[in-house]
Chain A
Amino acid sequence: AQSVSQHNHHVILSEAASLELGCNYSYGGTVNLFWYVQYPGQHLQLLLKYFSGDPLVKGIKGFEAEFIKSKFSFNLRKPSVQWSDTAEYFCAVNARSTDKLIFGTGTRLQVFP
């Protein structure tokens, strides 16, 4: 069965620190990969996505993610976080065969000034 795991449940950083959030999925076929962000009281927004091509994808607000097929990973990174990045981050995988978008458990990021 298709599944997504996010290892970091709660991350606390100071402003300007670097960020890396892990995401691993279990599915052997072709997938599309996404990172979504949910700011407090707001709906989900797409940060970035990978469909094919360059495995290093850049998204909005300075975020990027790298798809490593051999590791079934799609980790999210940002070199220098800001207080405004405080939010819940979800990794999601869409498998071609099932056509379902499955979410990871989410990572709560808190950034302190």
Chain B
Amino acid sequence: GAVVSQHPSWVICKSGTSVKIECRSLDFQATTMFWYRQFPKQSLMLMATSNEGSKATYEQGVEKDKFLINHASLTLSTLTVTSAHPEDSSFYICSARERTGYTGELFFGEGSRLTVL
């Protein structure tokens, strides 16, 4: 099946620094990627929808200036957590749609655990 890879899988940073997380579709082209945040023992919260070549669409309550999303190619989307604070510590998961359109199946990355000290 289609593979989505995230990097890094685990990152620790100091408060105030910025962290970039990459999401790659390894064997397919993904016109749409989604970024989720998962708190411990909770569900996945959709943060934003990323379409290749255009600006990301953020969900209500998600700060676009804090969580910068770039989808520069059909196989890569990045999430940058700017000026990270301890409350940004979480598990970030990306997913990619295999085909264009509504019926394309989503595939998920392994997730990236961010810890802000």
Contacts and interface: CB of A to CB of B under 8 A. Distances in A.
B109 A49 contact: no
B43 A99 contact: no
A43 B42 contact: no
Categorize the interface residue count of chain A. 20 to 34
B105 A103 contact: no
Interface in B13-49: 32, 34, 36, 41-46, 49
A7 to B, nearest CB: 14
Contacts of B41: 108
A100 B49 contact: yes
A43 B105 contact: no
A82 interface: no
Interface residues of B, number: 21
A96 B36 CA distance: 19
A57 interface: no
A25 interface: no
B108 interface: yes
Interface string A64-98: 00000000000000000000000000100010100
Interface of A: 32, 34, 36, 42-46, 49, 51, 90, 94, 96, 99-106, 108
Interface of B: 32, 34, 36, 41-46, 49, 93, 95, 102-103, 105-111
14 contacts: A32-B102, A36-B108, A42-B110, A43-B111, A46-B105, A46-B106, A49-B105, A94-B106, A96-B102, A99-B102, A101-B106, A103-B44, A104-B43, A105-B42
